[in-house]
Amino acid sequence: MTDYTAPLRDITFSMFEVFDYQHHYETRFQGADVNPELIGVILEEFGRFCSEQLSPLNAVGDREGCTWNGGEVTTPTGFKEAYQQYVAGGWPALAGDPQYGGQGLPESLSIILTEMRGTANWAWGMYPGLSHGAVNTIKSHGSEEQKAVFLQKLVEGHWTGTMCLTEAHCGTDLGMLRTKADPCADGSYSITGTKIFISSGEHDLTENIVHIVLARLPDAPVGVKGISLFIIPKHLVNDDGSLGDRNALHCGSLEHKMGIHGNATCVMNFDGATGFLLGEPNRGLEAMFTFMNTARIGTALQGVAHMELGYQKALAYAKDRLQMRSVTGPKNPSGPADPIIVHPDVRRMLLTQKALSEGGRMMITYTGKLVDVIEHATDEQDRRAAEDMMSFMTPVAKAFLTETGFESANLALQCFGGHGYIKEWGVEQNVRDARIATIYEGTTGIQALDFTGRKVLGSGGELLRNFTKEIHLFCKENAQNDALKHFITPLMALNQKWADLTLHIGTKALENADEAGAASVDYLMFSGYACLAYFWAKAALTAQQGLASGSEESDFYEAKLQTASFYYDRILPRTLVCEAGILSGAANLMSVSAEQF
């Protein structure tokens, strides 16, 4: 069975047909040779690298895991060689700034490639994945000297980066962190403390690792207002750019994890390590959000990756596995039984995975355009509008896609029955690997609080209105399209319901602040389903246009229409449950005393 085949046709459908990336690239990258033909070649070549080089290592990484020996970490068999090929192919630098060795292609394209890389082998993909956040953070907040020292090596993939936030006594509550930074006479800082859960914190893929670390200065205010950010390289860098002495930091141990065994999740000890202040003193958390926002989109991609991998495996198995006969008569009369794909409940599970994974891909493609606008807009108003929309979409994408990603991974295992529970097929690994995604970079509950409290209510509803206005205009433009009525009518009603629920939560929260927290996860999930409803309506319109053009891909477009209908008929009603939870209020949660649990 093929472990992974890049879904190139669905990717190009989302990019160039639903979201018109050709016009987007022509507008944002004038003068650059960014066209569908070039993008197609890049997608095909990288898809081949993922399926031929990375996918076969996925089970290897899970089986072998990483090895710790005296503070040094060895990655699983084949990981280092694959990384060398990755760098030699120029893939890390694809969307990097040409000033620092990058190729200057759109960041949205890099995001699409990240999905492919992560679906083929999420554990391997995490090693280069966090470097992107390190680059963004240093580029946004670093001094010119820091940019000159670190960016090119990170952009080209010769070095990798990490994000060091969490400590054993504080997870989300970073105001409690204790790692300290003492000033040195030469302008550097001596960093002492221990960080846990550090993905890719130590490994043998690159000669240097650049840690982006939160710590406190001696005179720092208490809480989050007293956090500063530092660059701490594994090896110090000499004036000529060569590597100098090993810094005073080491990997104390590897975490023993449920999944993603091929990636080294480290306890990192900083024992008076030499660090360099990144950005302004006591404003480190603000700077780190540059990294965290990058990581949250990466985590949203993880949700899509686990959906896609599970779906591919389940679909192939369902077409091949023979069990029982169809209740409407044999579909495989020459065999002893019918393939399980003929059974309604198996189709329910497969179509749920398909609708969520393809819908999730559209959500990622939509946010990818926003990233391009933020980075390349020449009009400040355009940039601010994109930043507002990205601020709105980020917690939804991170939380909703990881929750549905885990659901889809479980459905894939269910399609396999008992065979899914054993290691042979790789679907139980996919479930284990998917589970962390709803937790790190801020749990679903944390994302929901951020979304409901800060992004929606905190903006007076403005960030929500930006998106619902877009939906309203789409519905208005297509109100007379009878063939689209199945989607437009419920989408219009849903859009109004979204506004009504927001007003309800805001009003109740004025009376009792717990009301917003009590409603937040249901509200975020409602919002995620609403977003996908909009994207599936757009996909249905695109598919109708494809069929009307007389395209030879009629099966592909018909499948899009059928999947869109399935989403509206079978999945979108979940919003009714979310609505009921929101309207039930906070009392059923908060009136129970701790002793009554």
Contacts of 346 (CB under 8 A, 6+ apart): 318, 340, 415
Secondary structure (3-state) at 492: helix
Q: Is 441 a catalytic residue?
A: yes
Give dist(CA 523, CA 585) in Å, integer: 12
**Per the residue annotation, which of 17, 441, 515, 579 is the catalytic one?**
441
Distance CA 272, CA 246 (A): 12
Q: What tokens appear for 258 in the block?
A: 């449920």
Whose tokens are 């999947």? That residue is 563
Q: Which residues of 308-334 are buried (b: 16+ CB within 10 A; e: fewer)?
A: bbbbbbbbebbeebeeebbeeeeeeee
Q: Single out the residue of 549, 550, 546, 570 nearest to residue 559, CA to CA.
A: 546
Closest CA to 101 of 143, 141, 131: 131
CA distance 579 to 577: 5
What separation in angstroms does the CA of 1 have from each of 5, 315, 366, 426? 11, 11, 32, 11
Q: Which of 410, 416, 399 is nearest to 434 (CA)?
A: 410
Cβ contact 452:505 at 8 Å:
yes
Count of alpha carbons within 13 angstroms of residue 243, beta-carbon side: 13
Cβ proximity of 262 and 66 under 8 Å: yes
Which amino acid, one-letter code, is at 53? Q
- 223-247 in b/e burial notation, b at 16+ Cβ within 10 A? ebebbbbbbbbbbbbeeeeeeeeeb
Long-range Cβ contact pairs of 468-477 (< 8 A, separation 24 or more)? 468/495, 468/498, 468/499, 470/534, 471/495, 471/530, 471/534, 474/534, 474/537, 474/538
Q: How far apart are CA 125 and CA 253, in angstroms?
A: 21
**Cβ 61 vs Cβ 124: under 8 Å:** yes
Rounded CA gap, 368 and 386, in Å? Answer: 11
Catalytic residue list: 441
